[in-house]
Structure 1
């Protein structure tokens, strides 16, 4: 169990590092857009190779499809709630959709990590690096947008610390659930994370990357996908 806590903290720490980098200095729009595009590519790779593919192997298409639908609807509804409190119209809540996406993706993703640890599968270094590759751009992009929207550095860092703590605790929860989690539940968890990520990517991350980085966003997205896909397939 101690191992699950340690690796959960290590995996979630990248979110806080990204947020600190985002508030430590002013980032040009083109650079933020490039970072977001790279992260989007890494997340697309995560959906394809770490979530959907593994979910299909563990439980088949039905649990993955149910998880996809639940994850997509959950993010959509939660994102609309963020929008109502000012997420995309000022009010100091800019960047919250990315934080929400990190939370809805991180909880099931790290729960799966905890389940794997409890099953004696160990931790893939490649997977941890891939998590960092995708989490850092989310933290940087979201923190930069929140800063531009008027939130203080302290508020931004606290938001991301809270997201990281919840994600780290999900690793412990997954470890505790390992005894009762069958292949279908694991596949559904993978699908949920994939569904939440896909809606966040299409609605928030990719459009923001395209707006800030321009035509280069597509090329950088492919680069992010290639790097993350390579890391995912090292094991």
Structure 2
């Protein structure tokens, strides 16, 4: 099978878990109405997703970015991402939006999908493993983002449609990465570093505070397990 066909297939399969995670959250809302167990599951899931995001930044996005760029552009891109999402987060807050999880999810998903396309021509096995890693980490991130958007007044139907649309973004990102970034490692690195700055900002501004429950230590353990998941994924990818 041609590279581009394999890229589209892998991107579709890994992206489909965005919709699957949203679907799981949809049924979770219906099955768990109230109670301490529901609160614990939600906060632990948020922390687990935050742990995965930290792992993606610390183990994949930043190391790859630092390999390709010198210190000044590296620092400028990372800081630029943080500052950009600082202003975007403030703007959305004024508008009454609830999108921190969605933004963090896309900041993680889109650069990795583009990297999937970029590396596929050089190393198919790495491409397959990266697609698997992306697909699995999309589940808790889309689960949390779907639940978060409820506070913004969005109906379940609208949220499901949104995540169905988002699940196809990975195909466009991967194909773009294949054609635009395969021979431009510095462009891939710049995208990863800019995204990393935004992810770190969103984790400490929005995601980590949402995961805490007074006198409950399970969410913090969930964050550690999320980071461990990222470590295992990186080890598998070699």
TM range (shorter): 0.7 to 0.9
TM-score of the two chains, using structure 1 as the length reference: 0.85
TM-score of the two chains, using structure 2 as the length reference: 0.84
Aligned to 1:33: 43
The 5-angstrom pairing of residues 81-230 of structure 1 reads 81-87=91-97, 94=98, 96-178=99-181, 180-181=183-184, 183-211=185-213, 214-230=216-232
Aligned to 1:91: none
Considering only aligned residues, what root-mean-square deviation do their CA atoms show, in Å? 2.3
Aligned to 2:69: 59
- Extract unaligned runs of 5+ from structure 1: 88-93
- Structure 2 contact 53–108 (Cα < 8 Å) conserved: no
Matched, 1:232 2:234: yes
Q: In the aligned structure 1, how far is the partner of 2:182 from the partner of 2:13?
A: 24
Q: In the aligned structure 2, how far is the partner of 1:188 from the partner of 1:86?
A: 31
Matched, 1:19 2:22: yes
- Structure 2 contact 47–208 (Cα < 8 Å) conserved: yes
Per the alignment, do residues 218 and 179 of structure 1 end up closer, same or farther by CA in structure 2, a change over 3 Å counting? closer
**TM superposition outliers: structure 1 runs of 4+ over 6 Å:** none
For 1:25, what is the secondary structure of its paired residue? helix
Q: In the aligned structure 1, how far is the partner of 2:116 from the partner of 2:231?
A: 18
Aligned to 1:48: 58
Q: In the aligned structure 2, how far is the partner of 1:227 from the partner of 1:121?
A: 22
Per the alignment, do residues 180 and 123 of structure 1 end up closer, same or farther by CA in structure 2, a change over 3 Å counting? closer
- Structure ID, larger Rg: 2
Matched, 1:71 2:81: yes
- Extract unaligned runs of 5+ from structure 2: 33-37
- Structure 1 contact 104–193 (Cα < 8 Å) conserved: yes
Matched, 1:6 2:9: yes
